[in-house]
Amino acid sequence: MKFFKTPRFFKWIFPKRLWGFSMNENVVYLTFDDGPTEELTTWILDLLKEKEVKATFFCVGANAKKFPALMKRTINDGHAIGNHTMYHDKGTKISKKEYLESVHEARKLIDSDLFRPPYGRLPMTHAKVIAKEFQIVMWSWLSYDYDITIPIERILEKSSLINKGDVLVLHDNKKTVNRTKELLPALIDSLKERGFTFSTISV
């Protein structure tokens, strides 16, 4: 089963992680994972500038090192950045020591107190240490832009579940280029028609 909207029990189990915001204003938080990439991040930045939308980019350290100009432009365009480990590491696949080393290596390239675990996988032993240095940011609406079995039309239908304060996840990696280019403009326009504005995540 695909949960576009994050089930409430995750928020109860991990209350110190940021899943979304409680607010009266019609504000949502657009976020992108896994970049920057030449194939997609530049296009996204151009679109966001055209649409006058701000977002938060959770960057992989290796990509930040490879594309410093894209990192600089992301910041100069008024967007926020966050740490997504050095090599897009899955917390359940490597030791705590290796994982924390990856996070700290990425931090040398990504000046941010925001952290999002790749795949959303973060063992409690890792999280306890990371939470002392970062705000761990999860999400309350997942686009599934990376899942080719889900039509873009279906994703747009499920965007009706988005409420004020929600943190939305899309991706700016090589795998999602065509789907993101189809989805993102339509998603932004749909949310604007519903009266939403967009903001960056900060701590």
Token couple for 128: 């306890």
Check if 33 is active-site: yes
- Nearest to 61, CA basis, from 30, 95, 36, 28: 36
Check if 171 is active-site: yes
Beta carbons within 8 Å of 163's beta carbon, 6+ residues apart: none
| CA–CA dist 128, 16 (Å, integer) | 10
Write out the H or E segment, with its range, that includes residue 31: strand 27-33
Q: Which of 84, 89, 171, 172 is catalytic?
A: 171
Helix (H, G, I), strand (E, B) or coil at 43: helix
Answer yes or no: are the C-beta atoms of 146 and 171 closer than 8 Å.
yes
Helix (H, G, I), strand (E, B) or coil at 56: strand
Residue 131 has a CB neighbour count (10 Å cut-off) of 15
Q: Which of 33, 34, 89, 145 is catalytic?
A: 33
Look up tokens 């992680």; give the residue.
17
Which residues are the active-site residues? Answer: 33, 171
